[in-house]
A and B are shown apart, each in its own frame.
Chain A
Amino acid sequence: MTRLARIAASAPVPVFAAIGPGRQAETERLLARPGLRRADTARDAAILLVAGDLPEAAAPALARLHDQLPRPRVTLRWQGEGADETETALTGAWRELCAGGPDEEDRLPDAPTNAWRGVGPHGQGGEGMMGGTPYGRPMAMTGADIRDGLQLDRYSATLGPFAPMLPPGMVLDLTLQGDVICEAAVAEPPFAQPAEADAPALCAARLLRLLGLEKAARRVIGGRRPGALWITGAVPPGLGRIGGADLRARLAAWLADRPVTVPAFDLPALLAGAEWCEAMLILASLPPSELIRAARRDAAA
């Protein structure tokens, strides 16, 4: 092990968590420990932590996620072990990786999902910047902008089930114009979570992480004061208003260690028209149990 590798091994362990049913609270508490670092993207992580039993439907998404981790990488499964044990396993795996330990091969073939078929009916084709299907994927077509009616391109994508800003298991079908969400639909509701996921500290920490206050989030999970000034001022007033309480009010309640309940709401209507950052803040400002209920209602409809 070289000197550089030793220095690297002493850094916090970059972990990307794929959280399964019932494991959200435990995983969030584990990754708030000082020796671990929760990576925001797969590209930023070295270890993929698979917490709990994932349903069969999430397997292709997990394979895509796994291949997006840069090499060398390692996957750890966390079933029923204690948090201390898992932390030791993570740290051990990170040391091993830094010392040039075993690497994992891709699970998916190293070929574009949609093959390039040259200019023609399945190649770039189209007229000018419009139409055509390069790499078998259609170009974004224009639609009226929902704010001022200008004709802008609509980009659609599926987000989740392991997107770190969404509750674990949630899959959203999104249509965006720039960073404005035009349409949102719930393709899969989040995985069921025990009531502990609604704990005020964990809910507040999720919002703080989204706001970029990583250290404050760790302190809140650890049961201490956030140690940052005027946190509620970081979110615009009136955002995500449901039943008289806006995002600021919910965040303030959580920071004061009070649980939050919201009346029934229509999730797609709440997200449509919001900018990306606002929409993600709104989603993180809803207690997981209420969000699961709303998403199930929407997915069933």
Chain B
Amino acid sequence: MLTIGLITGWIALAAALALWLGPKAASTAPQAAPFLGGGTPETHAWQRYHFRPYTMALLFIAFEMEMMFMYPWAVVFVSEGIKALAEMGMFLAILSVGILYGWREGVFRWQ
């Protein structure tokens, strides 16, 4: 009971502080518009753009995952034999799908 009271009280306190201390959006409609030196936007500001490091990150993770599991795999490969080889083959096949996808997205075209 005491715990529940403490948790509720703490949440109430945090919410009250956030409401009290939070910055107020006191700007008027002209101030809320983007600053374009007197110009006006013609389209809504919500737009999608290409986050170009994304494909790079995809490629990095694909290769990093390979290396991460290849080290312990290399330790047990001799004792496990062909079974370990097949498992690693499947793992690499799955990861290479990601690399192929990155290829299609143009990650290997350096600018």
- A contact set with B: CB distance below 8 Å: 18, 41-43, 58, 60-62, 64-65, 67-68, 70, 106, 108-113, 129, 133-135, 137-141, 145, 148, 150, 152-164, 166, 171, 177-178
Contacts and interface: CB of A to CB of B under 8 A. Distances in A.
Contact of B29 (A111, A129, A145): A111
A159 B30 contact: no
A41 B28 CA distance: 16
A44 to B, nearest CB: 9
A110 B44 CA distance: 19
Interface of B: 28-31, 33-50, 106, 109
B36 A159 contact: yes
Contacts of A129: 46, 48
A178 B52 CA distance: 11
B43 A155 contact: yes
Nearest to B32: A112
Complex A-B, nearest 4 residue pairs according to Cβ-Cβ distance, in ascending order: A163-B37, A61-B38, A67-B30, A158-B39
B49 A152 contact: yes
A158 B45 CA distance: 13
Contacts of B28: 67, 106, 110
Nearest to B109: A148
B39 A160 contact: yes
A166 B37 contact: yes
Contacts of B35: 41-43, 68
Contact of A157 (B41, B49, B50): B41
Nearest to B49: A178
B37 A153 contact: no
A162 B46 contact: no
B93 to A, nearest CB: 28
B31, B39, B46, B50: residue with the most chain A Cβ atoms closer than 10 Å = B39
Contacts of B34: 157
B39 A68 contact: no
A156 B43 contact: yes
Given A148-B106, A153-B49, A158 B40 contact: yes
Contact of B31 (A70, A113, A154): A70
10 contacts: A42-B35, A43-B31, A62-B38, A110-B30, A112-B29, A134-B46, A152-B49, A156-B42, A160-B38, A161-B38
A175 to B, nearest CB: 9
Given A109-B29, A140-B43, A155-B43, A162 B37 contact: yes
Contacts of B37: 61, 65, 159-164, 166
Contacts of B49: 152-153, 177-178
B48 A152 contact: yes
Contacts of B36: 157-160, 163
Contacts of B41: 137, 155-158
Contacts of A155: 41, 43, 45, 47
A64 B48 contact: no
Contacts of A162: 37-38
A150 B29 contact: no
